[in-house]
Structure 1
């Protein structure tokens, strides 16, 4: 595949209008040469500019000429049956919806001590033996390690990175085209792109669904552990946890506000969680960046 054919195929996939513009330029070209006056009634200045930018049209003796007529024809022929279909969104299963509902109910635990007691004592059956043999800072490190591990695995297992890449590629392309139309002052192209952007609202909703699905399961597992920490510090035997020495703050308790009202146990948990998540993703070669096909 030649360079020009590849560029024509990419442009032809942007929209039916862009494909039609390329066909118009090819049809009006005489011996490969074409002028803006020959096509301005049928294509927009933005589309004309895209062809120049992609070097499909280059400077000629009189106006412009098509760089590679054969490549343009091959590119259009290859994309002649291309259909502009919506990206199929991922459907949530009944388990996903159930986990989401349960996660919402778990938030009640932060407001009612009776709920914290039930969840705290239940989770303590699992974490209690670890808490009995390790200092509290190490217990938080263990929870942060577990959080980083299952968070990374759930994102990989439940989020379709290829589909996310398609969503982001479409939005990036739309942003680029709007920028070019605004720069060239092409109001007609801006109006058309505005309509397309409104039609792409479904893509934004689909991307949010892709991102939120693994988050539901992550919160489903994390909130009980976080509530146990809250219960352990405030409702359990928090006074027995002792003090610790931290940079700039000196000797503090686990309930001391370190960053404004944010207490020491929360700061330590998030620092450990972020660090372990990075280590796990590097160690397991897990990429969180979407990839387009």
Structure 2
């Protein structure tokens, strides 16, 4: 990853649920915490699974930040991790997404830049921001794309998870076009001021998915690292989620932990996916 003096915002996305977006997003935050890096985690999914992982309160949530009823600073909560703060989510996000689109009270605000404006006062406090998005393209997701610097698609080797890739790439390009047109601070050459598709990571990988991985690599930038699916790894993931700790902490030698370590090395120390 290139050097930057500002907060780098990474979005994890897929239009299908159950692919492991939340798992990878929370584990990236935990890995950065171990490196002593200050992280703001934003739970942008009304299901609030990441909020539960970090044992966050569901008061003063992202929905209220987007609605403008509280500041981002007031919504930020400490977690059990020294370097990770969180803005949590709850089911109120569903109502806010509809409200932003339909209510007259937002007509004098730039609906695509609500999150950008809210985060400006706190950006300097963090080196990274991790955003866990829902399996959807809605107003709050578009707001996330308006501030994201790196976007990672998380997918699994099944047709349902892969079929939405073209649609997501189209939405990503539309968001980038809006950023270029409307964001005066946009700069393609500055990592903290651009929108960059970092690539797709294949999660829950099994040996019989080699052809799927190859087809992904031909279609779009794809991380060299794959995250394997094993019975032991799946068990450790469930145990870690229940305890609110990373799998690396619980079982550093299991297949998931070893694969995830390689993924973090690729994320942090290579500029483009697929290059080791």
The structure with the larger Rg is 1
More helix by proportion, 1 or 2?
A: 1
Larger strand proportion of the pair = 2
TM range (shorter): under 0.3
